[in-house]
Amino acid sequence: MSKLRLSAEIRQKYQAVIGLEVHVQLQVKSKIFATEAFTFGSEPNEHISVITLAHPGALPSINGACVQQALKMGLATHCHIPTATYFARKNYFYPDLPKGYQLSQAENPICQNGYLDVPMPDGGLHRIRIERIHLEEDAGKSIHDLDERDTLIDLNRAGAGLIELVTYPDLRSADEACAFMAEIRKLVRYLGVGDGNMEQGNLRCDANVSVMLKTATEYGTRVEVKNLNSINYLGKAINYEIERQIALIENGGEVRQSTRTWQVSTGTTQLMRDKETADDYRYFPEPDLQPLRISREQLAQLQEALPVLPAALYERYTQELGLSYLEAMALVEQASTARYFDALLEQKLEARVAYNWLMGPVKSYLNEHQLETEAFPVEPARLAALIRLVEGGKVSHNAARERLLPAMMLHAEAEPAHLARELNVLMESNTTAIAQAMEALMQEFPDEVARYRNGRKGLMGFFVGKIMKAFKGKANPKEVNQVVKSQLEAKN
What span, in angstroms and rounded, lies between the C-alpha atoms of 177 and 191?
21
CA distance linking residue 488 with residue 38, whole number of Å = 74
- The correct pick among 63, 69, 156, 167 for binding ligand ADP (CB under 6 A) is 167
Question: Could you give the CA distance from residue 396 to residue 7 in angstroms, rounded to a whole number?
Answer: 55
Number of chain residues interacting with ligand ADP (CB under 6 A)? 16
Q: Which is nearer to ligand ADP, 203 or 209 (CB)?
A: 209
Answer yes or no whether residue 210 interacts with ligand ADP by CB under 6 A: yes
Considering the complex, state which of residue 168 and residue 471 has its C-beta at the smaller distance from ligand ADP.
168
CA angle 190, 203, 67 (to 5 degrees): 65
Shortest separation between residue 346's beta carbon and ligand ADP, angstroms: 41
As a whole number of angstroms, the distance between CA 306 and CA 302 comes to 6
Of the candidate residues 18, 165, 449, 464, the single one contacting ligand ADP (CB under 6 A): 18
What is the DSSP pairing of strand 258-263 with strand 141-143? unpaired
CA angle in degrees (0–180, nearest 5) for 97-233-147:
40
Interface with ligand ADP, residue 21, by CB under 6 A = yes
| Segment interacting with ligand ADP (CB under 6 A) among 13-21, 174-182, 308-316, 473-481 | 13-21
Instruction: Tell me: does residue 102 bind ligand ADP (CB under 6 A).
Output: no
For 139-161, give one letter per residue: b (16+ CB within 10 A) or e. bbeeeeeeeeeeeebbbbbbbbb
Helix (H, G, I), strand (E, B) or coil at 210: strand
Choose one: 32-40, 91-99, 162-170, 329-337; the region binding ligand ADP (CB under 6 A): 162-170
Task: Assess 184 for contact with ligand ADP (CB under 6 A).
Answer: no
Tell me whether residue 5 is exposed, middle or buried, using C-beta atoms within 10 angstroms of its C-beta: 0 to 12, 13 to 18, 19 or more.
exposed
Kindly state whether residue 401 participates in binding ligand ADP, applying the rule CB under 6 A: no
Query: Measured from the CB atom, is 257 or 430 closer to ligand ADP?
Result: 257
Q: Which residue minimizes CB distance to ligand ADP?
A: 19
For residue 20, state whether it binds ligand ADP (rule: CB under 6 A). Answer: yes
Cα separation, 7 vs 489, whole angstroms: 62
- Is residue 115 a contact residue for ligand ADP (CB under 6 A)? no
* x/- letters, 274..293, toward ligand ADP (CB under 6 A): ----x---------------
- The nearer residue to ligand ADP, 109 or 140, going by C-beta atoms, is 109
Give the total residue count for the chain.
Answer: 492
Beta carbon of residue 166, minimum distance to ligand ADP (angstroms, whole number):
5
User: Which residue stretch of 31-39, 115-123, 219-227, 242-250 sits at the interface with ligand ADP (rule: CB under 6 A)?
Assistant: 219-227
Report the nearest approach of ligand ADP to the CB of residue 91 (Å).
Answer: 15
Which DSSP symbol is given to 34? S
The closest alpha carbon to 28, from 84, 92, 71, belongs to: 71
Range in contact with ligand ADP (rule: CB under 6 A) among 92-100, 206-214, 376-384, 418-426: 206-214
Q: Does 318 bind ligand ADP (CB under 6 A)?
A: no
Q: Is 17 in the site for ligand ADP (CB under 6 A)?
A: yes
Q: For residue 159, give the nearest of 224, 104, 82, 119 by alpha carbon.
A: 104
Nearer to ligand ADP, 203 or 480 (CB): 203
Q: Could you say whether residue 173 binds ligand ADP (CB under 6 A)?
A: no
CA dist 367 → 197, 253, 331 (Å): 18, 50, 15
Site for ligand ADP contains 222 (CB under 6 A): yes
When asked if residue 219 is in the footprint of ligand ADP (CB under 6 A), the reply is yes
For residues 264 and 155, give the distance between their C-alpha atoms in angstroms, rounded to a whole number: 27
Task: Report the C-alpha gap between 214 and 350 in whole angstroms.
Answer: 47
Give the pairing of strands 223-228 and 258-263.
parallel
* Binding-site member from 30, 52, 208, 318 for ligand ADP (CB under 6 A): 208
- The reply to whether 168 sits near ligand ADP by the rule CB under 6 A is yes
How near is the Cβ of 99 to ligand ADP at its closest, in Å?
20
Of 269 and 373, the one with the shorter C-beta distance to ligand ADP is 269
Q: Is 119 in the site for ligand ADP (CB under 6 A)?
A: no
141-143 and 111-119 strand pairing: unpaired
Q: Does 259 bind ligand ADP (CB under 6 A)?
A: no
User: Using the rule CB under 6 A, is 169 a contact of ligand ADP?
Assistant: yes
Which element (helix H / strand E) includes 223? Answer: strand 223-228
If the CB atoms of residues 104 and 337 are measured against ligand ADP, the closer one turns out to be 104
Residue 373, CB-side half-sphere exposure with 13 Å CA sphere: 24
Q: Residue from 58, 125, 166, 292 that binds ligand ADP (CB under 6 A)?
A: 166
Where does residue 94 fall: left (phi above 0), alpha (psi -120 to 50 degrees), or beta otherwise? beta
Contact residues: ligand ADP, CB under 6 A: 17-21, 166-169, 208-210, 219-220, 222, 278
